[in-house]
Amino acid sequence: MPNFWKALSKPIFALAPMEDVTDTSFREVVAGLSDPEYLQLLFTEFTSIDGMNHQKGKIRVSERLLVSRSEKNVRRQKNIKLVAQIWGNKPELFHKIAREITAEYEFDGLDINMGCPVKNVVKNGCCSALINQPELAKEIILATKEATHLPVSVKTRTGVKSHDTEVWISHLMETKPAAIILHGRTQKQQSDGLADWDEIAKGARIRDQMDPGVLFLGNGDVQSVSQGLALTAKYGIDGVMIGRGIFHDPWFFNPEHQPPSKSERLSQLILHTQLFEENWGGKKNLNLLKRFYKIYTNDFQGAAKLRAELMEATTFAEVYRIANAAKFD
């Protein structure tokens, strides 16, 4: 199978993998609202290789890899690729689970999470902790590449307690991943402070020296397509990944779209709820969905009151009743 990364138009725009956010329902909403010129790539939620290897736990963990038929159709229409992101710290399990995912699912690529900063995860030697274990990190990447014909990318950070960008990226480049996505913060920073794009540029220059064929994306504080275009040009990178910026505007990847009306916003809220109910009704709590309602209920009169009502809803039917009534106020 050809490396899809090579065929992407530049600059590349991608939506970041986010826990309890980038499930199949939300990916479908974002893909449906996007201009495919400005969204080429989506990622799953973080998927634990240890969980996937657990006889009972696999059922629950594998939900992170669910791709609905309707999401697949929307992405196919717009030629948006989907990458499964996996995490852990055992090379032999990366090999085993990468092989299984490749055989059992229809993803376009695999991404290894070496960037999640959550303390409990790092304490167990996974994700950002691998920055301080470069030999193990390289073994993991090579074991994953060996197990699959899919392109393997790495999402990571600039360091653990302080920036160590050039040394760390040099280690990663030795394994020749398909792409590196670099978040411009250390693990210690979590989401605090501003992302350091000068550090991202340092990583890109190491890439330039070692193998220009490896794609290099920056991540951190990108709030608009125009900003993303400016950053790629200024720092000499191949694209950007957007995380929290999507919560400010679900139309993020459609910059020509006029500011959405109240009716448009609530129509998307209803659609998102319907997709969530179809995909997860009986499996996931409605409260998981409520974090999204704030992105659809703003910039119109009465938005705060409506948002408060939606937060009190206890059933899908109640959400539909409240949102439909508000559409025609």
Do residue 42 and residue 98 come from a single domain? Answer: yes
Instruction: Answer yes or no: is 254 within a domain.
Output: no
Boundary residue ending a domain (247, 273, 290): 247
Instruction: Answer yes or no: is 97 within a domain.
Output: yes
Domain span at 228:
4-247
On the question of pLDDT at 40 being above 80, the answer is: yes
Sole residue written with tokens 């055992």: 90
CATH of the domain at 22: 3.20.20.70
**Which residue from 233, 217, 228 is spatially nearest to 111, judged by alpha carbons?**
217
On the question of pLDDT at 43 being above 80, the answer is: yes
Instruction: Answer yes or no: is 79 within a domain.
Output: yes
Boundary residue ending a domain (222, 247, 272): 247
**Pairwise CA distance, residues 169 & 207, whole Å:** 8
pLDDT value for 204: 98
On the question of pLDDT at 216 being above 90, the answer is: yes
Q: Give Cα separations from 275 to 68, 75, 89, 256 (angstroms).
A: 9, 15, 34, 26
Do residue 33 and residue 136 come from a single domain? Answer: yes
Do residue 171 and residue 221 come from a single domain? Answer: yes
pLDDT value for 1: 61
As a three-state string, the secondary structure of 57-87 is: HHHHHHHHHCCCHHHHHHHHHHCCEEEEEEE
- Cis peptide, bond prior to residue 11, ω within 30 of zero: yes
The count of domains in the chain is 2
Do residue 270 and residue 238 come from a single domain? Answer: no
For the segment 163-169, the average pLDDT, to the nearest whole number, is 98
What are the tens digits of pLDDT across the range 121-142?
999 999 999 999 999 999 999 9
Q: Which residues contact 124 (CB under 8 A, 6 or more apart)?
A: 89
**Pairwise CA distance, residues 107 & 112, whole Å:** 14
Query: To the nearest whole number, what is the mean pLDDT of the chain?
Result: 95
On the question of pLDDT at 329 being above 80, the answer is: no
Instruction: Answer yes or no: is 253 within a domain.
Output: no
Instruction: Answer yes or no: is 194 within a domain.
Output: yes
**Pairwise CA distance, residues 285 & 319, whole Å:** 13
Q: Is the pTM of this model over 0.85?
A: yes
Catalytic (active site) residue 126: no
Do residue 220 and residue 274 come from a single domain? Answer: no
What 8-state DSSP symbol labels residue 36? T
Do residue 70 and residue 199 come from a single domain? Answer: yes
What are the tens digits of pLDDT across the range 50-109?
999 988 778 889 999 999 999 999 999 999 999 999 999 999 999 999 999 999 999 999
Do residue 78 and residue 138 come from a single domain? Answer: yes
Region of poorest pLDDT, from 57-61, 83-87, 191-195, 299-303? 57-61
Do residue 232 and residue 284 come from a single domain? Answer: no
Instruction: Answer yes or no: is 257 within a domain.
Output: no
**Pairwise CA distance, residues 65 & 97, whole Å:** 12
Instruction: Answer yes or no: is 255 within a domain.
Output: no
**Which residue from 35, 18, 72 is spatially nearest to 279, judged by alpha carbons?**
72
Do residue 109 and residue 233 come from a single domain? Answer: yes
SS3 content of the chain, % helix, strand, coil (to 5): 50, 15, 35
What 8-state DSSP symbol labels residue 163? B
**Pairwise CA distance, residues 246 & 269, whole Å:** 14
For the segment 261-270, the average pLDDT, to the nearest whole number, is 95
**Which residue from 173, 242, 163 is spatially nearest to 204, judged by alpha carbons?**
173
- On the CB side of 1, how many CA atoms lie within 13 Å of its CA? 13
Q: How far apart are the first and last CA of the chain?
A: 52
Do residue 267 and residue 196 come from a single domain? Answer: no
Do residue 50 and residue 86 come from a single domain? Answer: yes
**Pairwise CA distance, residues 92 & 151, whole Å:** 18
**Pairwise CA distance, residues 67 & 255, whole Å:** 26
Do residue 112 and residue 58 come from a single domain? Answer: yes
Boundary residue ending a domain (247, 279, 307): 247
Catalytic residue among 110, 116, 122, 237: 116
Longest dimension (CA), the chain: 61
